[in-house]
Structure formats: C-alpha cells, structure tokens
Amino acid sequence: MENVKEAKKTISITKEEQAPKKSNKRFAVVLGLLVLGGAAFGLTKYVHSMHHEDTDDAQVEASISPVIPRVSGFVTEVRVADNQKVKKGDVLFVLDDRDLRIKLDQAEAALAAAQGGLHVAEATTSASKANVASSQANVSTVDAQIETAKINVWRATQDYNRYANLVKDHSITQQQYEQALAQKQTAEHQLQVLQEQKNAAARQTTAVASQSNATAEQIGVANATIKQRMADVENAKLNLSYATIVAPEDGVISKVNVQSGQFVQAGQTMFSIVMDKPMWVVANFKETQLDKMKMGQKVLVHVDAFPGHELEAKVTSFSPATGAKFALLPPDNASGNFVKVVQRVPVKIEFTNPADKTVKQLRPGMNVNVDVHLD
C-alpha cells in the first residue's frame, strides 16, 4: 500500500511539474504574437509616416461677414430671424431715418441757396461788364471832345496872335482884342477840363474793371460752393440709404442680437452672415511636419460629425507665419527664461468637390482630421 501511495504521489508531482511548462508555452505564443503585431503596427505606421502627414488640430472655416450699421439710430423693424437664409440685397433691419431726412432737406436747401448765389454773381458780373463798356465809351467820347477842344485852342490862339499884332497898330479896337483873348483862354480852360474828365473816366474804368474781376471771382467761389453743397446732398442721401441695412451676400444669418426700439451705434457688430461660398479647412501642422509638404498635394479629410465619410481635398497655401505670431500677445523669447516649444503653421486646405452633399453640410468650426499624401 505504501508503494502505491508513493507511486500516486510521484505521478501527481510529475503532473504539477508539467503544468507550468504548458503555461509557459502559451505565454510565449501570446508574447510572440503581441511582438509581431506591435512590429507590424509600428512598421505600418513608419511606412505611413514616410508618405503621409496628418493632424487632428484642424477646423472647418468659411467666409463670415459681420453686419455692421454705418449710422447710429433706433431700430424700427427687424426682418430676419436666427438661422434664416437670405439673399444679397435682402433687408435685415431698418433704422429710424427721420433725422437723416431732415439733414437731407437742409443739404438740399443749402444747395439751392448756393445756386441762387451763383445767379446773383453772374448778374453782378454782367452789370459790371456793362459798366466797364460804358466807362470805356465815356473815355472815347472825352477823347473826341479833347481833339475838338485842341482845334478850338489852336484856332483861338491863331486869332489871338493876329489880334495882338493888329491892336499894336490900332487897326482893331481894344474890345476886339479882349474878345480874342477871352476866347483863347476859354478854349484852353475847356481843354484842361476835358483832360481832367478823361483822367477821371480812366480811373473810373479801372475801378469798374477791378470790380468786374472781383465779381468774376465770385462766380468761381459760387461754383465751388455749389460743388460742396452737392457733395453734402450726396452724403446726406448716402447716410439716408444706410438707415436700411441689407445683406451683403447670400448666406445664413447667425443669432440675431438686435430688437426693435434698440439704439445701435455706427460700427457696432449686430450679427453675422455665413456666406454661401465654398468652405475650406485650416490645419495647424507642426513645423517639423512641413519638410515634404507643398501646394497641390492630395488630402483626405475626416470630419468628426460625419464618421465614415472621407472627403478629398488639396493643399492650397501656407501661412506666412506661425499661429503664435498672429496672437494678441505673441511670445517674446528674448524676455525671461527660454523654453523651446514646437510651433504650428496654419495650412489652408480646399475641398476638391465643394458641391459634395457632405461638404455642404459642414459648419464653420467643426473639428476634422486631415491626412496629407506627400507623394
């Protein structure tokens, strides 16, 4: 019996020694499979990295136009709602335009006054020109009278000289001599008066001509004033048109942050319009990934919102600087301690088929994964 017990014990010990060996073989097989799988995965990733560059730091972008009133005023009517589609030229909201209409009326009245001033200046200039012509005619008349007076002086002088010789011989009476002397002196005085009249007429002609030139300058000033008033009218009309805010492009309205009765300031952003234009993707690649990337390379885009959909695109441009350089407070490595951080460069990627149904369902800001084919 003891031998049988010893035999059973020996068999039991042998089984216990054999069990770990089987377990060790299974572990070795599993470990080998894991090593092979890891090696295959690593080799696949390595081969993939040799021909691809990918990143999940990417978002969908679109053309977004802010709606900004150009004039201040109270809102009288809002004609759009959140997420509404609009066409270019559709009225979005309207401002109270009564103040702007009054300014337009004032500008038009000022223009009418300026035009009236031009008519007055033109009439004054015409009258001044007529006065100049009249003064010149007076000068010509006086010149003719002076020539006649010179003849009278010559004739009276000749008569006087003859009578002066005759009175010495007592051939004529003293009375006749005095009459000849008086005629001579009268003719000389008349000539002197006419010469003074000519000088006065010449001075008057010069003054009238200067006045005419001044009135002619007033016409130029009046024309300049009219142009200024016309510009004021056009500016008033333009401001009046700004009271009606319209859609700049086709698109979809964002959340409308304006209500009737609200006072809005010029330059204040009220809401935005996502334009109906092709969207694109901006992917932020690490600076170490850009070595083999270039424009025109094929890109596969995977959108988080549409799993299983693969969209084709291509690289179209690279940012001229890293994203950090365009930040509100860009880093300055010259100050403080320097810690090297890998920078990212925004890369613009455009869809090859923008009319694709899935592409049209995209929304700006959606997260995407991009895979650039380097070959």
Sequential pLDDT tens for the chain (375 residues): 555 455 555 555 454 555 455 557 777 777 778 888 887 777 776 666 678 899 999 999 999 999 999 999 999 999 999 999 999 999 999 999 999 999 999 999 999 998 888 777 777 766 666 666 666 666 666 666 777 777 777 777 776 677 677 767 766 677 776 776 777 777 777 767 767 766 766 666 666 666 666 666 677 778 888 999 999 999 999 999 999 999 999 999 999 989 999 999 999 999 999 999 999 999 999 999 999 899 999 999 999 999 988 999 999 999 999 998 888 888 877 766 778 889 999 999 999 998 888 999 999 999 999 999 987
State how far the Cα of 95 lies from the Cα of 238, in Å rounded to an integer: 14
Tell me the two tokens of residue 374.
Answer: 């380097």
Beta strands in 154-309, from DSSP E residues, in sequence order? 244-246, 251-253, 263-264, 271-275, 280-286, 298-303
Sign of the Cα torsion 177, 183, 188, 193 reads positive
Q: What is the pTM of this model?
A: 0.65
CA-closest candidate to residue 60, choices 352, 373, 355, 350: 350
Q: What is the pLDDT of residue 169?
A: 72
The span from the CA of 109 to the CA of 9, in Å, is 126
Q: Which domains does the chain have, with CATH numbers?
A: 53-63+273-375 (2.40.30.170), 69-96+243-268 (2.40.50.100), 98-240 (1.10.287.620)
User: Quick one: pLDDT at residue 137?
Assistant: 62
Collapsing DSSP states into helix, strand and coil, what is residue 116? helix
| Long-range residue pairs from 118-124, CB within 8 A, at least 24 positions apart, any chain | 118/219, 118/222, 118/223, 118/225, 118/226, 121/215, 121/218, 121/219, 121/221, 121/222, 122/219, 124/215, 124/218
Predicted local distance difference test score (pLDDT) of residue 147:
74
Interatomic CA distance for residues 293 and 373, integer angstroms? 9
Residue among 93, 33, 57, 60 at smallest CA distance from 271: 93
To the nearest 10°, report the CA torsion of 167, 169, 170, 174.
Answer: 10
Phi, psi dihedral angles at 22 (to 5 degrees): -65, -40
pLDDT computed for residue 271 by the predictor = 94
Written as six digits, the tokens of 220 are 């130029």
- pLDDT for 220 equals 77
Q: Is 245 buried (19+), middle (13-18) or exposed (0-12) by CB count in 10 A?
A: buried
Beta-ladder partners of 287: none
pLDDT score for 107: 94
What is residue 340's predicted lDDT score, i.e. its pLDDT?
Answer: 85
Q: What is the pLDDT of residue 177?
A: 67
Per-residue pLDDT at 198: 66
pLDDT for 102: 95
